[in-house]
């Protein structure tokens, strides 16, 4: 019996969950303040299954930093740790849309006020604040533009892709038409594979106007999703450099609107290199996972 099964069966009450999304990048939220759940990769994949489970691009386990051995050492003043998992059960360092939804959940549950809030993630501590319109702005840290890129291929078209790290890895390819990205259910072939030994999120970007682009994404561990927050940040920074703009050189922030299939995100790069992301975060509903279902589902 796996740890997740033990936790689910052991309480006899099931596992409470909520469902939320940010620009239609959707998540199962599992509150676990005291860190008693050990969700295996299989359990996460079952829960995120869109036909046999609740369904989601990923899962956000909400745990107090002090209760999680991985978070305790690096959380600083961040009371809460976002334990993010991809829909296939794999662990990822960071999720931009996830952080906004995580913050929305903490407010919804009365666990956070409306001021600035620090959240621990595997990529480090991120701070978030509510905007006047009710959206959430997250300070996402600095984008790292790495020298080695890859070539991404779809059918008979190939594009060079910029390697951008936002705590997690991204390959950003500029295309004429987003339809050229084709069917993104499978990861598009890229080479050399050695550039991304742990896999990569691949963004396809097309121009929409001045400081305005649109993207599609194949997410590592989740297939094509309708949005990716870290991906939108990577895209904005790669586009700024392509456009010959660097806030560190000009001393002025630069803002891009990044359209995704599920809405729109506003990304600002500041002169100190910090990237800020603003977008919506929605709690859709809540329920309880039946422990008997999880035990059966895990076989």
Ligand X SMILES: N[C@@H](CCC[C@H](N)C(=O)O)C(=O)O
Catalytic residues: 95, 228
Cβ pair 80, 128 in contact under 8 A? no
Task: Please tell me whether residue 44 binds ligand X under the rule CB under 6 A.
Answer: no
Residue with the two structure tokens 């069966």: 9
Task: Please tell me whether residue 259 binds ligand X under the rule CB under 6 A.
Answer: no
Task: Please tell me whether residue 96 binds ligand X under the rule CB under 6 A.
Answer: yes
Least distance in angstroms from the C-beta of 26 to ligand X: 10
Residue list 7-36, contact with ligand X (CB under 6 A): 25
Question: Which region, judged by CB under 6 A, interacts with ligand X, from 48-56, 96-104, 143-151, 281-289?
Answer: 96-104
Which lies closer to ligand X via its Cβ, residue 96 or residue 188? Answer: 96
Least distance in angstroms from the C-beta of 289 to ligand X: 22
**Selected binder of ligand X within 20, 31, 53, 221 (CB under 6 A):** 221
**Selected binder of ligand X within 5, 65, 86, 278 (CB under 6 A):** 86
Least distance in angstroms from the C-beta of 220 to ligand X: 4
Task: Please tell me whether residue 168 binds ligand X under the rule CB under 6 A.
Answer: yes
Question: Which parts are annotated binding residues for substrate?
Answer: 25, 86, 96-97, 168, 201, 219-220, 229-230
């Amino acid at each position: 019996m796996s740890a997740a099964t033990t936790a689910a069966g052991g309480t006899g009450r099931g596992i409470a969950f909520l469902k939320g999304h940010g620009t239609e990048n959707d998540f199962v939220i599992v509150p676990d303040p005291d860190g008693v759940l050990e969700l295996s990769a299989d359990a996460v994949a079952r829960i995120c299954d869109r036909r046999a489970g609740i369904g989601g691009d990923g899962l956000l386990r909400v745990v107090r930093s002090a209760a999680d051995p991985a978070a305790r050492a690096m959380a600083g003043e961040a009371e809460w740790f976002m334990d993010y998992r991809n829909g296939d059960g794999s662990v990822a360092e960071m999720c931009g849309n996830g952080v906004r939804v995580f913050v929305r959940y903490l407010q919804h549950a009365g666990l956070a006020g409306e001021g600035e809030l620090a959240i621990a993630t595997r990529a480090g501590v991120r701070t978030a604040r509510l905007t006047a319109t009710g959206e959430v702005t997250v300070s996402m840290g600095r984008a790292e533009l790495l020298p080695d890129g890859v070539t991404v291929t779809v059918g008979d078209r190939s594009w060079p892709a910029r390697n951008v790290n936002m705590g997690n890895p991204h390959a950003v390819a500029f295309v004429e038409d987003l339809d050229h990205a084709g069917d993104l259910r499978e990861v598009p072939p890229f080479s050399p594979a050695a550039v991304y030994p742990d896999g990569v999120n691949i963004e396809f970007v097309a121009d929409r106007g001045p400081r305005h682009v649109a993207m599609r994404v194949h997410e590592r561990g989740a297939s094509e999703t309708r949005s990716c927050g870290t991906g939108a940040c990577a895209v904005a920074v790669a586009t700024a450099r392509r456009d010959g703009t660097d806030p560190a050189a000009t001393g002025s922030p630069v803002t891009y609107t990044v359209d995704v299939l599920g809405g729109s995100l506003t990304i600002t790069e500041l002169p100190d290199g910090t990237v800020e992301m603003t977008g919506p975060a929605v709690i859709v509903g809540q329920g309880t996972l039946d422990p008997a279902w999880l035990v059966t589902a895990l076989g």
